[in-house]
Structure formats: structure tokens, C-alpha cells
Amino acid sequence: MKLKNSIDFCPLPLEHRSYAARGLKARGASADGMAGGAGAGGARSRALVWLMVWIALVAAFGWSTNGYLTQRLSSGSWVHVLVVAVNGAFIGVGLLYIHDRTQTHNPVQRRFPVVYWGRWLAVELGPLFRQYWFASDLEEKPFSRVTRNWVYATSKGKKNTIGFGSQVDFEAVGTCTVMPSMFGSADEARSYSRVIGNATGVENPVKVEHFVNISAMSFGSLSSRAVSALNKGAGMAGILHNTGEGGYSPYHQKGGSVIWQIGTGKFGCRDEDGNFSEDLFRQVAGGDKVAMIELKLMQGAKPGKGGILPASKISAEIAAIRNVPIGQDVISPARHAEFDDVEGLFDFLDLLRAASGKPVGVKLVVGHAEEIEAIAVKMAAEAGRGPDFITVDGGEGGTGAAPLVLASHAGVPMKQAVAVVDWAMRKHGVRDRVHLLASGQIATPIDVVVAMALGADGVNIARGFMLSLGCIQALECNSNRCPTGITTQDKRLERSLDVEAAAQRVANYVTTLEKEVCMLCQSCGYSSPDQFTADDIMVVTSPGHLDYLSELQQQSAWEAARERSHALAAGLSVGESKRLQMVEDA
């Protein structure tokens, strides 16, 4: 019988094994993506104790044998040094053996003392070797090397064209192909323009002339220099920069206009008890560069989960920005305390809009379609109320730190989610009243086109902009050890990021991204990306077979909503409803 290789034989994929292996190790992380916690501190303390014991034993050996070795060898001889070093190594191995045999948290380490550390080194260095030596240009996740290299070249203003032909497998399931037109407008001028807020009669509506914005990333999750570079680059490019739920920091005030995001923690507008403060909200929302307000209901990487900001991570600066006390953990609830239904949500949106005089939207993750329909129904019944814009975050969205189970298995993916929201708004006749933004693993022109073809009016991009800053996809966002200084609060690491140079890369990236999206528009005979429809893109569903995008996500959204609606009306599950229908048809 032929044995399977180690990867095939293990019933768990590598990502899940790594998660399980590291789950109780010294990598505790806060909701803001910064590592810490008692586990990490305890491990470091124990390692320091063993190190001090080793140093003491080596020093004792050197001191006790100094006279003998001096008599036998000349003092300071390299042989003398070598003898002490070799014995130090033996002492170290001996201590390591004792440590491994006496520890109780890892049975493999206890069974194979000393040798275990060879495996540990292979596990730690494995991702690096796979990324640069073994993985192909198209198979890395979440972004392939082809995508990353395109972003790197684009952001640096270098040539981003390719030679000889594409590496994309045109027969691979999921490959998208835009349908070009032999005829169409010869005008290459971009005509994209939207006004957000007119439907609700807000005092200060916002005119947007770009369909790409920077998605929510908080100061705390990102370093001060990274946030500064993003905001400065947003100002240079004329796009909007979402603050993330961590508050409106000084680093969000480097020239770019922002969408101030308010999460369940109400950071920046909370009183001493953690409740929403309208007075503090007015102070921040009144800023000249605060263009819109976004109320975060959920995010794709961890829908339905609050966060914990450990006391050890709350500096005086973060405490001032977020209006939280120093010296105690800050816990963000999973849901907003101010409302628990659509009526309460609309009331709270009205309050925010009246207090700020600016457009107010929501960020959500799609679950059951009837929840989205409930928002659309109320908007249709009560003109002038509801969100001015909706950010649809796909389940594949990223974050600084999230539980594997939520990041990998919760929330409808972006394409299907956008189709569901667009369908619900159109069904109830309110699509023209709301600006729809899509987010979730978007980085390249084809990603933007697919999202807008499915109904989005624009996109929010997070990790694409991180790549433009210089992110190398080291997957260390939750460790506070980001080697590029982007997702860390370590000032030593942060110094590697130059704000001015990074801001220019951000501006270059968005400028070229929008230019190449318009290039695809021209290929289809359009002058603006909002002219794309889901029939302008075909998707490989099996080798040699393509289906229109409208047959997949849009049709699926409609069918799922209809089936769920019928099942609920009958008091059944969707499966039971289908079986009953099959029996009746028979």
C-alpha cells in the first residue's frame, strides 16, 4: 500500500494545524491586532530565567577553571576561549534537555528533547521558504505573488506590464473574463461622479469623483507612520480614508478627507462609562476633514465579535484618542447597545446625521437576505431616512487579528454579498437612494470591475494599500513584529517606514488602479466603470465552460432570498420547504 505524504495524511489543513498549535502559545492578541497578554509575558519570563541560569553556569565554569586553563594554556589564548565556548554549548544543551523533559505543555517536546527544536525551526521558517522558493506565482494566499508584484510595481511608479503572456490559467474555475466590444465610445475621459447624502437631505452632502477609497484600518492596528502615509496619500489622490473603529487620531489628519468609523466601543465619542456621548461626537464630527460617518455593525473578518484592548496596550496617546482609561482592559461589545432592531438603527442614524450634518452610512456583513430587505423596506416606507451609504464587507475581509473560525467560516463572500444588497435595494425601489461600497480582498483592476458589475458604486481597499506601503505578506499582523513597520506599535520597527515615500506610493497605486479600471471600460466600449453589468463578465465554472456573472452571484442571490422567504412564511427550514415542494410536485 502506498503511503500518503504528510500533508495528505493529516486530516487538518496546514492553516488549521498552525492555528491549533499556536492557540495557547505566547501569541495572545487584542482586537486591534497587537500581540500581548499573560501567555506571551509568561513565556518570555521563563525564557529569561533559563537564559540567566545558563549565563551563571557558564560564568561559574569559566571562573572555576580559569587557574587550571591559565597554567596549561596562555591566558587569553583562542584555545582557552574555545574550551569555554564548547563547554558553554554543552551546558546549554544540558539545560535545554532538562527544560524539555520537565515542561508539560507540549508532549512532542517532552518525548524528543533538544531534537524538538529542529522541528520548531522548520515550522517557523517554513512559510518563508514556501513563499520565496516553493510556492508558485499564483498559489499563495490571500494574495498571490503576481498580484503583489503588480501592486509593488504600480505603487513605485515602475513599469507594471508583463512580457510573453499571462500566467493566469484561463481554464481554472473562478477565472473572470471581461467581454470586450468591437465598437463603443472613443472618448477616454472618465465620467464617474456621485453625490452621497441627497436622498436624506443632509446638510453637507459629499460629492465623490473616485470609485476607490481606503478601507477601515485603525491607528493601533496600524502604526502611526502607516496611518499618516495612508492619509497623506489619500489627500494627494483625492480619495476618502476610513479611520477604522479606533478613533480619529492626529495621524488621520495629514491632508486627506476621512470617513469616521464608529464601532461598538464608541472610541472617540464615549463617556467615562463607555456609553455614546453626543457632545463628544459633535466635537469630532465637526472637523473639516471628516466627510462622512460610518456606523460599523459588523466586519467581514470577525462578524458578531467585539474586541478586547488589553491595559498593557493602552498608552497615554491611545487613551486620549479613544477616550478610554489607562490601566484597565477595554472591552468592546459584540453589538451596539443603542439599538437592537431596524427601527432603533434608523433612529440612531437620524441622531448621528442631525448632530453632524454629514452623510451617515453603515458597514455590514451579509447573512440572511431578509435582514437586508428589512432595511430596504423601511427606506421605501419612510423617505429621507436610513443609511446614505452601505459598506458591504465580504466574509473574506482581512483584519489585524481575528479567530480563525470567524475569519474563515462566517459571513457571505463579497461577490455574493454585494449582489444580495443590490438586489434587495432594487426590489424595493430604493437603490438610487443609497451609495453601495464593496470591500473584501480587492486589490487589482479586475477585482474592482467585478464588484461594480455586481452592483457596487465603488470599492474600499485595505490590504491592497498595505501592499502599496511595502507590506510583504509576512502574516505577522497579530504579533506586533511586522518587519515593514506597518502593523506594529514597536517604534524600532516602525522607523523603517518613511511617511513621505510611502504616501507617494499610495497615491501612485490608486491613480494607476483607477486608470487601468478605465482601460477595461474602454475595452468594453464604456467610459465609466459604473456602466458595467454582470453580463459583461464571464466566469469559468468548469474547464471549457463559462457562465455570465449574472447567472452566478446575482441569480444565486435572488434564488436564495426567494427560497428563504417561502420557508419562513411556512415556518419551515429551506431544506424542509424544498422537500415539501418536491413531494407536492410528485
Query: How far apart (Å, rounded) are the C-alpha atoms in residues 41 and 23?
Result: 15
Beta strands in 99-239 (DSSP E): 176-178, 194-196, 206-208, 212-214
Residue 296: predicted pLDDT: 93
Q: How many domains does the chain have?
A: 3
Of the chain, the percentage scoring pLDDT greater than 90 comes to 37
Q: How far is CA 504 from CA 39, 233, 244, 394, 570, in A?
A: 40, 6, 22, 28, 58
For residue 343, what pLDDT is reported? 95
- CATH, residue 388: 3.20.20.70
**Between residues 562 and 234, the one the model is more confident about:** 234
Burial group, residue 455, by CB count within 10 angstroms (0-12, 13-18, 19+): buried
Residue 80 confidence (pLDDT): 67
Mean pLDDT within 65-83: 66
Is residue 140, in this structure, part of any structural domain at all?
Answer: no
Residue 84 above 80 pLDDT? no
Q: Which has more pLDDT, 128 or 56?
A: 56
What's the confidence (pLDDT) of residue 77?
63
**Residue finishing a domain among 115, 134, 153:** 134
Average pLDDT, integer, range 44-61: 78
Residues 476 and 365 placed together within one structural domain of the fold:
yes
Q: How much is the pLDDT for 1?
A: 37
Least confident of 126-140, 147-161, 493-507, 530-544: 126-140
Q: Does 185 fall in a domain?
A: no
pLDDT at 35: 40
Domain containing residue 451: 194-531
Average pLDDT, the chain: 82
The pLDDT tens digits of the residues spanning 289-323 come to 999 999 999 876 667 677 666 666 677 888 888 88
What pLDDT was estimated at residue 3? 40
Above 50 in pLDDT, residue 23? no
Residue 244 is assigned to a structural domain of this protein: yes
Is residue 195 pLDDT above 70, yes or no?
Answer: yes
Q: List beta partners, residue 546.
A: 540
Across 25-34, 169-178, 361-370, 486-495, least confident range = 25-34
Pair 446, 473 in one domain? yes
Residue 571 and residue 519 share a domain:
no
pLDDT at 382: 95
What sign does the CA torsion over 525, 529, 530, 532 have?
A: positive
Q: End-to-end distance of the chain based on CA atoms, in angstroms?
A: 47
pTM for the predicted model, two decimal places: 0.79
For 402-431, the pLDDT digits (tens) are 666 766 677 788 888 999 999 999 999 999
pLDDT, position 81: 72
pLDDT tens-place string over residues 336-351:
989 999 999 999 999 9
Enter the DSSP assignment of 197: S
DSSP letter at 225 equals H
Q: Please confirm whether the linkage preceding 543 is cis (ω < 30° from 0).
A: no
Say if strands 537-542 and 545-548 run parallel, antiparallel, or are unpaired.
Answer: antiparallel
Selected residue with higher pLDDT from 102 and 13: 102
| Residue 508 and residue 398 share a domain | yes
The last residue of a domain, from among 112, 134, 156:
134
Q: Identify the helix (H) or strand (E) that includes residue 539.
A: strand 537-542
* DSSP H or E stretch at residue 293: strand 290-296
- In which band, very low, low, confident or very high, does the pLDDT at 354 lie, cut at 50, 70 and 90? very high
Residues 558 and 497 reside in one and the same domain: no
Residue whose C-alpha cell is 472613443: 186
Instruction: Read off the pLDDT of each residue in 191-212 and give the average, rounded to a whole number.
Output: 93
Note whether residue 180 is domain-resident. Answer: no
Looking at the structure, do residues 524 and 542 belong to the same domain, yes or no? no
Is 410 within 8 Å of 304 (Cβ atoms)?
yes
Residues 371-413: tens digit of each pLDDT: 999 999 999 999 999 999 999 998 776 665 566 676 667 778 8
219, 355: one domain: yes
Asked if residue 554 has pLDDT above 50, the reply is yes
- Asked if residue 497 has pLDDT above 60, the reply is yes
Strands in 321-388 per DSSP E: 330-332, 360-364
Per the model's pLDDT, the better-predicted residue between 72 and 110 turns out to be 110
Does any domain span residue 325? Answer: yes
* pLDDT value, residue 437: 96
**Does 544 lie in the same domain as 502?**
no
Question: Residue 10's pLDDT band (boundaries 50, 70, 90)?
Answer: very low
Residues 488 and 575 both lie in one domain: no
pLDDT for res 43 = 67
Indicate if the pLDDT at residue 11 is higher than 60.
no
Higher-scoring residue by pLDDT: 425, 332 = 425
> Hey, which residues does 363 pair with through a beta bridge?
296, 391
Instruction: Say what the pLDDT of residue 26 is.
Output: 41
Instruction: State the amino acid at position 363 in one-letter form.
Output: K
Q: What is the mean pLDDT of residues 68-87?
A: 68
Report if residue 554 sits inside a domain: yes
Helix (H) or strand (E) holding 260: strand 257-262
Flag whether 167 is in a domain. Answer: no
**Is 168 inside a domain boundary?**
no
- Domain identity same for 577 and 457: no
- Cell 484561463 sits on residue: 170
Confidence band, pLDDT 50/70/90 cuts, at residue 78: low
Query: Which residues make Cβ contacts (< 8 Å) with residue 20, sequence separation at least 6?
Result: 12
- 404 and 326 within one domain: yes
pLDDT digits (tens, 9 = 90+) for 450-465: 999 999 999 999 999 9
| Domain closes at, from 82, 111, 134 | 134
Q: Are residues 217 and 252 in the same domain?
A: yes
Residue 237 near residue 511 (C-beta atoms within 8 A): yes
